[in-house]
Chains A and B, each alone.
Chain A
Amino acid sequence: MTKVLTVNHSVEQGIREFLKFLLDTGKIKGVFTLKKLNKKGDVAYSLITRSDELTDAVPFFPLMPVNAGKLISRFTMNGPPSEPVAVVLKPCELRAFIELVKLEQGSLENMVFISATCGGVFPLNMVHEGTIEKNLSPYWTAIKKEEIPENIRPVCKACTEFIPYNADLVLNLVGNKNLDSQCDIVIETKKGEEITTDTDIKKKYSQKEYKKENLDTFKERREAEKKKIIEDIDTKLTGMDGLIEIFGKCIGCHGCSKACPICYCKLCEFESSDSEYGPSNYEAELKRRGAVRVPPNTLYYHLGRLSHIAISCVGCGSCEDACPVDIPVSIIFKKIGESIQNMFEYTPGKSIEEKIPLTTFKEKELTEIEE
C-alpha cells in the first residue's frame, strides 16, 4: 500500500518546508525548483543548496520557462552528482528527462524526483504581458474543482498525461480541495521511501496509508479538449499546401529545436554544412522552378525535426513558447507524435526500461505498411 507524508501547511508552504528539512538534515545536497529571481517576481529554475534560499521557491508555479528535463540533462550528462539532489518538476518535464536518459543524455543516479498532478501552465508571452499574477487565483480555483484553467497553453489543455510517471514523491494538486491547508506527499518509489524513512521525518510529519484519487472527470475534460484541438489542426494540415500555409511565416530561428528537450543534437542537421545550398543547388532549383525561397528548406526543417523527435515528443509545448511568430508547432508535433507513438504502443517517458521503438526490431510490427 502506498504511503503518504502529511505536512500541516498549504501545499506550497509544505513542500518548501519539506525540502528545507531535507537540505538541513543533509539528505539532499541541492534542490532544483522554480524560484522567484527578483523583486519583480520573475520566475526561473534554480539550483538551491542553502535552505533559506527556499523562501523564494515557487515549486508549482504554473509556468515552464524552460523544460526542466533539458536542464537536468545538462546537469547530469557530464557525471551525476556525488550526493542526492532533488528536482521538483512537471510530469512532461520528467517524461522528457526519462527519454533523454534513454538517449544517453543524462543520468538518474542520485536524482530524486518530486512531481505533481499537473493542471497545465501559462504561455510564456503572459510573462512579458504581465498578465500571470491576475490569472493565478482563478487557476488554482479551477484546479481544485478538476476544471481546465482558462488561459493555459492549448497543448496543456489537450494533455491527458497529467499524472507523473517515475516520480519518487508525488503531490496531488488536481482536484485537491485542501491545497491551502494540507500538503500530502505521496511516496511512490523505493528511492522516495529511502529518503523519507528516517526517524527525524517520522517524528516531524505524520505518515499514513494512501488511497489513490480518481481523476476521471479531469481526464474526460482533457480528452474532450484534446479532440477539439486536434480536429481543429486537422482541418489546417491538408497536405503540402496546408503545411506551407502554416509554416510559411517561419523565420528560421530554430528556437523550437533549441527549446525542445528531445532535440539534443549538438549540431542540428539543418544547421550543418550538409544542409547548406551551394551555388549549384540554387541554380538547379532556379532552372527547375524559376524561383527559390532563401534561405531554403523552411518546411523541410520542420518535417525533418518531426521525423527525428516525434516518437519521443512529450507534448510539453516548449517549442511553441519559443516561437516568435505564433506557429502552432506544439499542437502539430503532439498530433503527429501521438499517432506515431500509438503505432508502436509507446508512451515516451513512461518507463525507463521500455526501449525507444526505433532502437528495436520486432518481426511482427508495422505490417500495415507492408501491405
Chain B
Amino acid sequence: MNNPRKTPDASSTDHGVLIQVKNTQKETVNDFLKTAMEKGVFDAVLISMRVPAGDSFAYVLLTNKELLKDAFPLPPVMPVQGAKAISSITRRGKGNKKIAAILRPCEIRATVELAKLGQVNLENIILISMDCFGVMPTPIFIKDPEKSFKKFEDAIREDDDTVMRPVCQICDKSSMVAGDLHMGTRGVQKDSFFIVPHTKKGKDILDKLGLQANKNIDTWRAKINKNAKEKQKKRKQVHTDLQSSIEKLDKFLDIFSHCINCHNCMRVCPICSCRVCYFDSDKMKHPSDDYLRIAESKGSIRFLPDTSIFHMGRMVHMSLSCVSCGACEDACPMSIPVAQLFSMTADETQGLFGYIAGESLDEPLPLTTYRKEELSEVDDVHD
C-alpha cells in the first residue's frame, strides 16, 4: 500500500456550534433548516418525508418551509440513495436555487463520487450530514411500518444496530464528514448537538446565520472514533467470515444461484450511473447457435448465461467508488447478500489504492490517475 489510509473521521476543524435541542432533535434540526430558509441562506431543502400511505419514506425537494415540520432528517429506511436524488436534481446542471440536502454520510460520500464522475453539480448544493445509526432493510420495514418505526426509535435510543441493514451493522464511517456541514449527535448531551463545518461553504453558511463554531467537539470526536474502531473490528471479522464462505468458485456461484437477472441492484446503486448497462446492451445478446455451442461445451448452461458475470462485471466497474450503503441488497427480491459482498471487495480494491470512496472531492478517482510507484505488488508477479 503506497498511500496510508486516512482516518475516516478526518475533518478540517476541531470546533463546532453547540445547538440546544428544543422538544426533539428532529424538530430542532427542522427548525434550523426553516430559519436558514427564512434568512435566505438556502432557497430549498432536500429531505426525507413520509409517503401519503405512511408505509415508507421518500426524498422531497421543498420550498414551502411549512412542510419542514413533517420532515424526517433521519428516516428509518433508505428507499432511494440520496446521491441518486442529488443526481436527479443536478445532473443537467445547476439550478437557480440554493439547495440544502440533509443526507446520511454514505449518501454524501456517494454524491462526492458522482461529482467526480460528472453526474452531479454541487455548485448550488449544500451537503449536510448527520451521525447515522443505520437504516432498517426496507423490505422488512414495510411489512409493519408502525411497529418497525418504533423498533427503529428504540434501537437508536439504545444504540443497538441489530435491526439495521447488515452493512449498516459493519459501517465504520457512520459519522464521516464529507459534506459542507455535519450534525454530530453521538456522545453529546441529550439536549444538544454539534454542527461542525467541514468546508468553506459550510463555514459561510454558519457565518450568515450568525452562528460561531467556537465549542470544542472533543467529546463527540472521542465517541465517534471509539464507535468507528469497534465497527472496523466487526467489519473485518464479518468480511473474513464471508470470504471463507465463498473461497471456492462453486460457493461463489451458489451465492448468486437465486439471482433472477432483474438488475435491481444495479439500478438502485448510486454509483452505477450508466444510462444503459453494458450487461443490458446488445453486446450480451448472441445468435441461438452460439448459445447452443456454449451449452455443448459443458452439456448444459444456465440461461441467461451471464448471471455471475454481471455481478463480477459490476463489481469491477464500481467497487472503487462503492460506499457500502446497502441500497443494492435492499432492492434484491431474492435476498442475496450483495451489499455485504460488495463492501468486502470494495475495502480490498480501495485499500489497494489507499482510497476511501467519497472522503474528499479533491482526491481523484484512482483509475483516472497514474502513479509510477503504485500497484508494485502486481508487478512482482511478473518479475
A residues in contact with B333, CB < 8 Å: 124-125, 255, 321-324
- The answer to whether B92 touches A276, judged by C-beta atoms less than 8 angstroms apart, is yes
A residues in contact with B285, CB < 8 Å: 74, 77-78
- The answer to whether A49 touches B84, judged by C-beta atoms less than 8 angstroms apart, is no
Which of A77, A249, A252 has the most chain B CB atoms closer than 10 A to its own CB?
A: A249
B residues in contact with A292, CB < 8 Å: 60-62
Q: What would 7 A/B residue contacts be, using CB atoms closer than 8 Å?
A: A75-B288, A245-B52, A248-B58, A278-B93, A292-B60, A294-B59, A294-B61
Min CB distance A232 to B, Å, is 16
Taking A40-B257, A128-B258, A294-B88 as given, write out 9 further A-B residue pairs in contact, using a Cβ cutoff of 8 Å, ordered by the A residue number: A44-B302, A46-B302, A75-B291, A81-B292, A279-B93, A279-B95, A295-B88, A322-B260, A325-B138
A367 to B182, CA, bound (A): 62
Given contact pairs A82-B289, A280-B95, A296-B88, A46 touches B262 in the complex (Cβ within 8 A): no
Q: Which residue of B lies closest to A271 (CB)?
A: B275
Q: Which residue of B lies closest to A73 (CB)?
A: B285
- The answer to whether A326 touches B139, judged by C-beta atoms less than 8 angstroms apart, is yes
Min CB distance A257 to B, Å, is 9
A252 to B59, CA, bound (A): 12
A279 to B250, CA, bound (A): 48
B44 within 8 A of A: yes
A296 to B250, CA, bound (A): 42
Give chain A interface residues in 180-229, CB to chain B under 8 Å: none
Give chain A interface residues in 235-279, CB to chain B under 8 Å: 241, 244-246, 248-249, 251-255, 258-259, 266-267, 271-273, 276-279
Binding-face segment, B166-174, B226-234, B263-271: B263-271
A293 within 8 A of B: yes
A residues in contact with B46, CB < 8 Å: 294
A residues in contact with B95, CB < 8 Å: 279-280, 282-283
Give chain B interface residues in 56-114, CB to chain A under 8 Å: 56, 58-64, 67, 79-80, 84-85, 88-97
Q: Which residue of B lies closest to A50 (CB)?
A: B299
Give chain B interface residues in 128-144, CB to chain A under 8 Å: 138-139, 142-143
Which of A76, A267, A291, A323 has the most chain B CB atoms closer than 10 A to its own CB?
A: A291
- The answer to whether A276 touches B292, judged by C-beta atoms less than 8 angstroms apart, is no
Contact of B275 among A29, A241, A267, A326 (CB under 8 A): A267
A273 to B260, CA, bound (A): 27
Which range holds the interface residue count of chain B? 35 or more
- The answer to whether A81 touches B142, judged by C-beta atoms less than 8 angstroms apart, is no
**What are the 6 closest A-B residue pairs judged by CB atoms, nearest first?**
A279-B95, A290-B64, A248-B51, A50-B299, A249-B56, A278-B92
Q: Which residue of B lies closest to A66 (CB)?
A: B260
- The answer to whether B264 touches A42, judged by C-beta atoms less than 8 angstroms apart, is no
CB-defined interface of B29-55 with A at 8 Å, one 1/0 digit per residue?
000000000000000101000011101
B residues in contact with A86, CB < 8 Å: none
A354 within 8 A of B: no
Min CB distance B167 to A, Å, is 16
A286 within 8 A of B: yes
Give chain A interface residues in 52-80, CB to chain B under 8 Å: 52-53, 65-66, 71, 74-80
- The answer to whether A49 touches B296, judged by C-beta atoms less than 8 angstroms apart, is yes
A245 to B51, CA, bound (A): 8
- The answer to whether A251 touches B60, judged by C-beta atoms less than 8 angstroms apart, is no
Give chain A interface residues in 314-348, CB to chain B under 8 Å: 321-326
A48 within 8 A of B: yes
B residues in contact with A266, CB < 8 Å: 276, 280, 282
Given contact pairs A125-B333, A248-B56, A295 touches B85 in the complex (Cβ within 8 A): yes
How many residues of chain A are within 8 Å of chain B by beta carbon?
75
A87 to B307, CA, bound (A): 20
- The answer to whether B88 touches A251, judged by C-beta atoms less than 8 angstroms apart, is no
- The answer to whether B303 touches A255, judged by C-beta atoms less than 8 angstroms apart, is no
A309 within 8 A of B: no
Given contact pairs A40-B254, A290-B64, A294-B59, A249 touches B142 in the complex (Cβ within 8 A): yes
Min CB distance A71 to B, Å, is 5
B residues in contact with A322, CB < 8 Å: 260, 262, 264, 333
Q: Which residue of B lies closest to A39 (CB)?
A: B254
A65 to B256, CA, bound (A): 13
B287 within 8 A of A: yes
B residues in contact with A326, CB < 8 Å: 139, 142-143
B222 within 8 A of A: no
- The answer to whether A44 touches B257, judged by C-beta atoms less than 8 angstroms apart, is yes
Contact of A251 among B138, B262, B275 (CB under 8 A): B138
Min CB distance B230 to A, Å, is 30
A85 within 8 A of B: yes
Contact of A47 among B59, B275, B291, B331 (CB under 8 A): B291
B residues in contact with A248, CB < 8 Å: 51-53, 55-56, 58
- The answer to whether A47 touches B85, judged by C-beta atoms less than 8 angstroms apart, is no
A108 within 8 A of B: no
B300 within 8 A of A: yes
Min CB distance B325 to A, Å, is 13
A248 to B285, CA, bound (A): 35
B180 within 8 A of A: no
B residues in contact with A77, CB < 8 Å: 285
- The answer to whether A291 touches B62, judged by C-beta atoms less than 8 angstroms apart, is yes
Give chain A interface residues in 97-142, CB to chain B under 8 Å: 124-125, 127-128
A303 within 8 A of B: no
Q: Which residue of B lies closest to A79 (CB)?
A: B287
Binding-face segment, A30-38, A149-157, A161-169, A358-366: A30-38
A78 to B285, CA, bound (A): 7
B332 within 8 A of A: yes
A residues in contact with B85, CB < 8 Å: 294-295
Q: Which residue of B lies closest to A110 (CB)?
A: B288
B304 within 8 A of A: yes
- The answer to whether B300 touches A46, judged by C-beta atoms less than 8 angstroms apart, is yes
B residues in contact with A246, CB < 8 Å: 53
Min CB distance A40 to B, Å, is 7
CB-defined interface of B343-381 with A at 8 Å, one 1/0 digit per residue?
000000000000000000000000000000000000000
